[in-house]
Structure 1
Amino acid sequence: MLPAYNEAEALPALLNEIEFAFDEAQIPYEVIVVDDGSSDDTALLASQASFHMPVQCITHVQNQGLAGALRTGVAAALAATKPGDVIVTMDADNTQPPGSVERMIQMIREGHDVVIASRYQHGSQIVGVPGYRNFLSFGARALFTVMFPIRGVRDYTCGFRAYRHEILRRADEYYGDQLVSEKGFSCMVDMLLKLHRFKPVVGEVPFILRYDQKGGASKMRVLKTVFQTIHVLIRRRLNLR
């Protein structure tokens, strides 16, 4: 599932990589692209890709932010899957390699409920990310490890994840629309902390973050995201729903 906002520059290359990776691994799949009110050709390109690969494009008339796109995508993915299936979320900017998904799915088959593509596992590499972003990510990892440790998790903020259908279904039935409630990029952290209620088995795989392949400028407002993430952490640490 791909939340996408003005990703016309990156989306075609990413969809081609997804098609190649899944066909090579012989894994049946469907791509759900949530076009979050883009002003470019994101929706058009996603629709064109559906002629040669299984792509469903859902379009928001107005931009709702990452949380809104993720909420729509999760609902669509749960409706399209069944127990035993795997739901994968990843960025639409072509910075996260679809080739890692096969290993993530294998770990789900081996007994994990959630698998995170982690920047902090041995074998991972980060290419092209500004130094200050690396510093903030490392600081976030240290803070979460101390204040809200989750077994098997080092990378709390990366949205490149694989979920067993059943764990997302349980969370969706419990939280409803509030499963993805935080605004901005902090919604990925909040979703992981909410899933912790259900005692999932969580694991990580290394991956190569290719920021040098990113299409267009970053949409993350760094300082705002930092404050939102800290706020989420404090609320969850105090067991506030």
Structure 2
Amino acid sequence: MILILLPAFNEEKSLPQLINKLEVTLASIKENYRIIICNDGSTDKTQEILEKYSKTIPLEIIQHKVNRGLGETIRDLFERAATISSEDDIIIRFDCDDTHEPKYISLLINKIRSGYDVVTASRFEKGGGQHGVNIYRSFISKCANLFMSIFFPITGIKDYSCGYRAYNPKIIKKAISFYANDFIQLKGLGFTCTLEKLVKLKIIGARFGEIPFELRYDQKVSDSKMVSSITTLGYIVMTILYHWPFGGWKNLYKKRLKKFDARY
């Protein structure tokens, strides 16, 4: 089964278009699927739209009564996926704002099945790119990815900030079992969780790959949910936590992992 994870906050304008495209793509792949959407306290018609679609397609809704942010939303989605998935399934997470085209799902699936644990849809792979991103935002994105590649080098990863990824359920189950509630530790720091997952999965030995992907920011009709200052603060906090010489993640988790792997 293909498990599609989608975080949603005030996406009434984007959801119908995205779900229609997703249905067409998943039908062409000809595999069983389940869509799990976490409605993170939306104040528009997002919940109403989701309930309508859930009557005709395999769609499960997780609802937050209030907006808790991307970190808690992603945590709930991945914990649910880990609970219901089997080892032969594939977990795919992307955005609800129609900037991530479902047509890349088959490439992600094939790459996971070739032996990778995590596969990112990358703007920086040959054949990738982005549309509708202004010069300032593009510059900030490149600087952020350069920062991440220096402080958190991961073989096989060029695009650290794109949340469009596929996962082998085995590595997600292992991560949640190992980290418990700290799999997504920096929950209140904006989009930092997108990087945190990569780093936490690297620590436990995940194998990473990428496929080329074009970000379609020109199709975005909902408001941006990213607060750059909070996410930047999150990256700084995470860098300190990871590299702190006495008990930082890099040392702390590696020591724990030896004991964990002996039992896992």
With the length of structure 2 as denominator, give the TM-score of the two structures. 0.88
Which residue matches 1:158?
A: 162
Give yes or no for the alignment of 1:129 onto 2:133: yes
Q: Could you say what secondary structure the match of 1:104 adopts?
A: helix
- The equivalent of 1:169 in structure 2 is 173
Distance 2:137 2:243 in 1: 24
User: After the TM superposition, which residues 1-241 of structure 1 pair with which residues of structure 2 at under 5 Å, given as runs?
Assistant: 1-182=5-186, 183=188, 184-238=190-244, 239-240=248-249
1:148 and 1:237 in contact (8 A); partners too: no
What are structure 2's unaligned runs of at least 5 residues? Answer: 253-264
Q: Which whole-Å CA distance do the structure 2 matches of 1:23 and 1:200 have between them?
A: 30
Distance in 2 (CA, whole Å) between partners of 1:167 and 1:237 is: 23
Q: Secondary structure at the match of 1:123?
A: coil
How far residue 174 of structure 1 moved from its aligned partner, in angstroms, is 0.7
* Structure 1, unaligned runs of 5 or more: none
- In the aligned structure 2, how far is the partner of 1:212 from the partner of 1:146? 30
> How far off its partner does 1:86 sit?
0.8
**Aligned partners of 1:233 and 1:99: how far apart in 2?**
34
Deviation at 1:177?
1.4
> Match of 2:28, as an amino acid?
E
Deviation of 1:202 after TM superposition, in Å, equals 0.3
List structure 1 segments (4+ residues) > 2 angstroms apart after TM superposition: 237-241
Q: CA deviation at 1:23?
A: 0.4
Identical aligned pairs, as a percentage? 36
SS in 1 for 2:33: coil
The separation in 1 between residues aligned to 2:205 and 2:225, in whole angstroms, is 32
Moved more, 213-222 or 32-41: 213-222
CA-atom RMSD in angstroms: 1.2
1:171 partner letter: A
- Give the Cα separation in 1 of the matches to 2:220 and 2:77: 22
Q: Which amino acid aligns with 1:128?
A: G
Q: Distance in 1 between matches of 2:198 and 2:150?
A: 16
Q: Aligned-pair distance for 1:111? A: 0.2
Looking at structure 2, the residues matched to 29 and 193 of structure 1 have their Cα atoms a distance apart, in angstroms, of 28
Stretch moving more, 61-70 or 77-86: 77-86
Q: CA deviation at 1:144?
A: 1.8
Q: Is the 8 A contact 1:121 1:204 kept in 2?
A: yes
Query: Which letter does structure 1 place at the counterpart of 2:174?
Result: R
Q: Which has the larger radius of gyration?
A: 2
